[in-house]
Structure 1
Amino acid sequence: MSTSGEHGYPDTGQTRTHLPGGDPYGGAPRRTPRSSSRSLITVVGVVVLLIAAIAFANRDNSTTPNTPAKGPNQPAAAPTAASGTTPVPTTENGIPTHFPHTQQGAESAAANYAVALGSAEMFNKAKRDSVLQTVMIPSRVKSSQTEMDEAYTSSFNQSLGLSTDGAAPAGSTFVSRTSPIGTKVTGPGDDTATVAVWCSGLLGLAGAKSTNPVTNSWFTITMKLQWAAGDWKIITHSQQEGPAPVPGDDKASSADDMSKTVEEYGGFTYAR
């Protein structure tokens, strides 16, 4: 499988990032917005905000913000809703670790490991080895490092406009970020779990002279995890494209705005 133009870790089933030079949406026509539809949406949006404001003003303040009211009529959480579990307080090499030995813990681990595997650190040998040392099961660290070395080659970095060691050229900011949208356990077990993480990703160079501008992609990472040494660790992982939503009509930001945003906005610790 080709590595050029793929997001995150190439040659491992990763989704392909489409760069300028053709219709990135396969020639599918984009819908032209109608002014009447936008007016209706605006009116509906104002009504929704007004209702929300009234509800907020009349809410019951007898409970603390972190203690939801309980009662016989309280609806159960939907499968896709956040569990409310507090994120883990510990990190290794900047990556959240020591997740609970539960299904929710496995999902939280998979979400945070997806962020690490899709980060800019993966394009530098020393930083990549540190990431793999943290997220992989000990018996798979060395083989994973070898596999990634074969994927993240100097020529691959240069194809993205980076130096051989993954550094961005002067005046540019390299962006490689993965944001989990949701998680799903497809193979639960006591000491093993298979978790799929639906993600959105950013990849590219933000800079006035960049020929690889930052683009967005959607993909699903599937990880097989094992409970080892008091934490969930990855045995294997793979990636496939999508599911991807219909693209909107957002105006692309300038290179300067994108660089500033990436530098000013930090990431999150994800908990199921």
Structure 2
Amino acid sequence: MSLGDGASGGGGEDAYEYGGVGQTRTRLPDRGSDVYGGARRGRSSSRSLVTVVGVVVLLIAAIAFANRGGGSSSGDGGDRPTNAATAATGTRPVPTKPHTIPSGFAHDQQGAESAAANYAVALGSTDMFNSAQRNTIVEAVYAPGVASARRSDLDKAYSSEKFLTNIGLNRDGTAPAGQTFISRIIPVGTKVTKYSPGSTTVALWYTSLFGLSGEASTNPVSESWYTTTYQLTWINGDWKVTDFTQQDGPVPIGRDQKASTADDMTKAVGEYGGFTYAR
């Protein structure tokens, strides 16, 4: 039988076209002993439709419940997120402008977590390799009592010719001609390990991208994983860093993915901006 045939003979069966596409459906003879045959088929279809609708309604309700966030409205940080928590929770992110370091964090656990994440992004940026921009970051991130000492230490580290040479940069901290220097921190999660209104300890787990993108690069962009624990103090109406420690990992198993070209990596860094992080 070809498409468009109205019927096929034999067996007392009746076939007909449906949907206007030349397809055929075969109707078997009614059997009195078949409790699912005859007129009861329409009732079965209705029952199936009601069942499907019920399942969809339950699914929508479950998604809505999961997306409620479940955070505490008291502003004290609420319950810690579960392993599957992906919805935004808690205090609204601080207002900020492009190319500025966020400030004015909430005076609670969530505010401290947000401060740690945003400060880490600034401290891990390429701006740290420019002396003027580095001073701006240090003043914004560190508490006044430690900013001066940290500035001196950082100036020595970032102006070291040996250090700059090892990572492939020029003596002034710029990338060689035809290459793009990439240094980014991407926070994965935070947790408060100790809290009081005056001082807080926040651990930040993050991945970082670091290296030079370019055909002649001897230090191509690579990925690393770290956990940095920040000591924060509440001073002058904001959270500020007083000290930190860093350790490797946790490090996930890498996927077997082909590395992008230097051109693709350079384009990505130029086209994709960063975020203001908040719990």
TM-score normalised over the length of structure 2: 0.69
The letter for the 2-side match of 1:127 is: Q
Q: C-alpha separation between the residues in 1 aligned to 2:167 and 2:183? A: 11
**1:140 aligned partner:** 146
**1:98 aligned partner:** 104
- Per-residue CA deviations over 1:38-60 (Å, capped at 9, x if unaligned) read xxxxxxxxxxxxxxxx969x747
Residues 91 and 229 of structure 1: CA distance in aligned 2, closer, same or farther (over 3 Å):
farther
8 Å CA contact 1:123, 1:157 repeated in 2? no
The letter for the 1-side match of 2:81 is: A
8 Å CA contact 2:127, 2:133 repeated in 1? yes
Task: Please give the secondary structure, in 2, of the residue aligned with 1:158.
Answer: helix
**2:181 aligned partner:** 174
**1:78 aligned partner:** 81
Residues 93 and 133 of structure 1: CA distance in aligned 2, closer, same or farther (over 3 Å):
farther
Residues 251 and 90 of structure 1: CA distance in aligned 2, closer, same or farther (over 3 Å):
same
After the TM superposition, which residues 166-245 of structure 1 pair with which residues of structure 2 at under 5 Å, given as runs? 166-245=173-252
Gap regions ≥5 residues in structure 2: 1-54, 71-78
8 Å CA contact 1:93, 1:134 repeated in 2? no
**1:271 aligned partner:** 278
Residue 124 of structure 1 deviates from its aligned partner by 1.6
The letter for the 2-side match of 1:95 is: I
**2:52 aligned partner:** none
- Per-residue CA deviations over 1:181-213 (Å, capped at 9, x if unaligned) read 000111111110000000100000000100000
Q: C-alpha separation between the residues in 2 aligned to 1:98 and 1:165? A: 33
Residue 147 of structure 1 deviates from its aligned partner by 1.1
8 Å CA contact 1:172, 1:206 repeated in 2? yes
Between the two structures, name the one with larger relative contact order (CA 8 Å, sep ≥ 6): 1
- Per-residue CA deviations over 1:79-108 (Å, capped at 9, x if unaligned) read 563424321003696111110000100000
8 Å CA contact 1:91, 1:97 repeated in 2? no
Residues 164 and 231 of structure 1: CA distance in aligned 2, closer, same or farther (over 3 Å):
same
The letter for the 2-side match of 1:146 is: S
2:130 to 117, 120, 124: 124
Max radius of gyration: which structure?
2
Residues 85 and 55 of structure 1: CA distance in aligned 2, closer, same or farther (over 3 Å):
farther
User: In the alignment, does 2:262 pair up with 1:255?
Assistant: yes
User: In the alignment, does 2:134 pair up with 1:107?
Assistant: no
**2:94 aligned partner:** 88
**2:165 aligned partner:** 158
| C-alpha RMSD of matched pairs (Å) | 2.7
Task: Please give the secondary structure, in 2, of the residue aligned with 1:157.
Answer: helix
Task: Please give the secondary structure, in 2, of the residue aligned with 1:95.
Answer: coil
Residues 69 and 163 of structure 1: CA distance in aligned 2, closer, same or farther (over 3 Å):
closer
Q: C-alpha separation between the residues in 2 aligned to 1:111 and 1:144? A: 19
